[in-house]
């Protein structure tokens, strides 16, 4: 009784300012259970550290200083100042995971899911979360070079990275404990023991899969982008609407490759502790991706199909190095596993 009451009180106090970021990264075992030591974003500032406030971890675009609240500029940086470099803070190590591993990125909803009445004009799905991946991050990376540019097949934008995942911010289960209807319904439907880390709240998660080609012994960068716009005309403060984007920048220490995970009995174990488990529907999608992974030539031709105008496309997630696949009379695909060959101009 005590803990939920306290959590509700805290929620009421902090809700006005609380926003979201990726709090923790965890590897997911083939049965859906979190395993191993969790990892953290670049320059993580734990909630328990002295001096912690929302602003030590949130990064808003466009910045609140911009008079035009719908305007993103080509110069806007993708990562917060404290997350520009690939460095970790004391006590918040980087996640270690094998290439091809399933990973849960968890964030708090802070009422953005369970108290929708607090912010008029927001999308029903509570915004969309995107995860981009690259082996070639840049200090000073620009939002618009990645967001809306990189694509799942790796041919978008400057071709340095891929879109790994797109999901609703509301994962369908997560809640902060409060007196709202959504929270109360979910508290009954998705019960779990209060944990030291999450309290009585159930954190949201986005389950992704590292590319099987992520090079072992190197860092693989993940950019999490939460797009949470206000529609025009819904909020009198913002008659033209408002662009509101938050990001978290992270690196994963890649060690080894998951051996043929699709062959393992990667059945999601039913009835497991929600504090320590992937979301079944999301996890199943990852398993499907693994088991339907096509052999090299078939994958290359599908990459070309989806970039029909590109005369030459760099396939970013591939197993064969230096192999040229002739797909049609005038289209050549250079397969280059380290993504370093010339990149297509697709914009
Ligand atoms: C899932 O597998 C992991 C690693 O093999 C194991 O530690 C965990 O107990 C399993 N979870 C369940 C619910 O069986
Ligand atoms: C604000 O930015 C948007 C998006 O770039 C643009 O369409 C609009 O014209 C700008 N408004 C003003 C008043 O400059």
Peptide bond into 216 cis (omega under 30): no
pLDDT number for residue 289: 61
Tell me which ligand sits closest to the C-alpha of residue 276: 1
Q: Per-residue pLDDT tens for 119-145?
A: 999 999 999 999 999 999 999 999 999
Is residue 302 in a domain?
yes
| Domain assignment present for 320 | no
Q: Kindly write down the DSSP assignment for every residue of 236-285, as one continuous string.
A: TT-TT-B--EEEEEEEEEEEEE---GGGS--PPPTT--GGGB--HHHHHH
Residue 316 lies in a domain: no
Total domains in the chain come to 1
Give, using CA atoms, the residue closest to atom 12 of ligand 2.
Answer: 68
- Cβ 269 under 6 angstroms from ligand 1: yes
Residue 113 placed within a domain: yes
- Which CA distances in Å does 22 have to 14, 32, 59, 212, 315? 18, 19, 11, 23, 29
Percent of the chain with pLDDT over 70: 75
Answer whether 0.75 is exceeded by the pTM: yes
Which ligand 2 atom sits closest to the C-alpha of 68?
Answer: 1
Cross-strand bridge partners of residue 96: 253
Nearest CA to ligand 1 atom 5: 29
Question: Ligand 1: does its nearest atom lie under 6 Å from the Cβ of 273?
Answer: no
Q: Does any ligand 2 atom lie closer than 6 A to the CB of residue 229?
A: no
Rounded to whole angstroms, what are the CA distances from 23 to 70, 92, 154? 27, 10, 27
60 domain-assigned: yes
- Round to whole Å and give the CA distance between 110 and 226: 14
Return the HEC string of 162-182. Answer: EEEEEEECCCCCCECCCCCHH
Q: Of ligand 2's atoms, which has the minimum distance to the CA of residue 72?
A: 5
68 lines ligand 2 (CB under 6 A): yes
Q: What's the pLDDT at 135?
A: 98
* Triad 252, 141, 216: Cα angle to 5°: 25
The mean pLDDT of 276-281, rounded to a whole number, is 93
- Is residue 332 within 6 Å of ligand 2 at its C-beta? no
**Distance from residue 345's CA to the centre of ligand 1 (Å):** 45
Residue 180: is it exposed, middle or buried by C-beta count within 10 angstroms (0-12/13-18/19+)?
buried
Do the beta carbons of residue 112 and residue 175 sit within 8 Å? no
Domain holding 285, by residue range, is 2-306
* Cβ of 35 below 6 Å from ligand 1: yes
Nearest ligand 1 atom to alpha carbon 31: 1
Pocket test residue of 66, 70, 144 for ligand 2, highest count of atoms within 8 A of CB: 70
CA 119 – CA 19 distance, rounded (Å): 12
DSSP assignment of 71-135 equals: ---TT-BSS-GGGSSS---TT-PPEEEEET-EEEEEE--TTTTT-GGGSTT--TTS-EEEEEEES
Residue bearing the CA closest to ligand 1, atom 6: 33
The verdict on residue 243 lying in a domain is: yes
Q: Is residue 347 part of a domain?
A: no
| Per-residue pLDDT at 261 exceeds 60 | no
Q: Is the CB of 125 under 6 A from ligand 1?
A: no
Whether residue 346 lies inside any domain: the answer is no
pLDDT reading at 315 higher than 70: no
Tell me if 240 CB under 6 Å of ligand 2: no
Half-sphere exposure of 331 (CA within 13 A, CB side): 17
Nearest to 27 by CA among 99, 75, 127: 99
Average pLDDT, integer, range 331-338: 35
30, 272, 130, 115: CA torsion to nearest 10: 180
Residues contacting 197, CB < 8 A, separation 6+: 24, 275
């Amino acid at each position: 009784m005590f803990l939920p009451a306290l959590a509700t009180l805290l929620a009421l106090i902090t809700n006005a300012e609380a926003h979201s970021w990726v709090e923790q990264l965890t590897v997911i075992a083939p049965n859906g259970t979190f395993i191993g030591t969790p990892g953290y974003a670049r320059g993580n500032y734990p909630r328990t550290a002295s001096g912690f406030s929302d602003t030590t971890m949130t990064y808003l675009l466009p910045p609140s200083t911009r008079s035009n609240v719908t305007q993103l500029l080509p110069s806007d940086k993708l990562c917060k100042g404290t997350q520009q470099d690939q460095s970790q803070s004391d006590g918040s190590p980087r996640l270690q995971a094998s290439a091809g591993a399933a990973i849960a990125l968890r964030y708090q909803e802070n009422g953005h899911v369970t108290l929708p009445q607090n912010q008029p004009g927001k999308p029903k799905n509570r915004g969309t979360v995107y995860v981009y991946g690259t082996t070639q991050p840049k200090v000073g990376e620009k939002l618009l070079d990645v967001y809306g540019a990189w694509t799942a097949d790796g041919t978008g934008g400057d071709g340095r990275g891929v879109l790994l995942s797109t999901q609703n911010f509301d994962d369908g289960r997560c809640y902060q404990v409060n007196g709202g209807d959504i929270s109360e319904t979910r508290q009954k439907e998705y019960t779990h023991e209060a944990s030291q880390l999450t309290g009585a709240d159930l954190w949201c998660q986005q389950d992704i899969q590292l590319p099987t080609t992520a090079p072992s012994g190197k860092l693989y960068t993940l950019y999490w982008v939460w797009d949470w716009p206000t529609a025009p005309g819904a909020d009198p403060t913002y008659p033209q609407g408002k662009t509101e984007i938050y990001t978290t920048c992270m690196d994963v220490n890649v060690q080894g490759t998951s051996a043929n995970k699709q062959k393992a009995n990667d059945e999601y174990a039913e009835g497991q502790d929600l504090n320590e488990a992937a979301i079944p529907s999301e996890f199943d999608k990852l398993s499907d991706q693994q088991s339907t992974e096509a052999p090299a030539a078939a994958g290359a031709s599908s990459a070309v199909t989806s970039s029909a105008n590109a005369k030459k496309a760099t396939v970013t997630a591939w197993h064969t190095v230096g192999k040229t696949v002739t797909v049609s009379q005038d289209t050549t695909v250079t397969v280059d596993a380290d993504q370093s060959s010339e990149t297509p101009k697709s914009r």
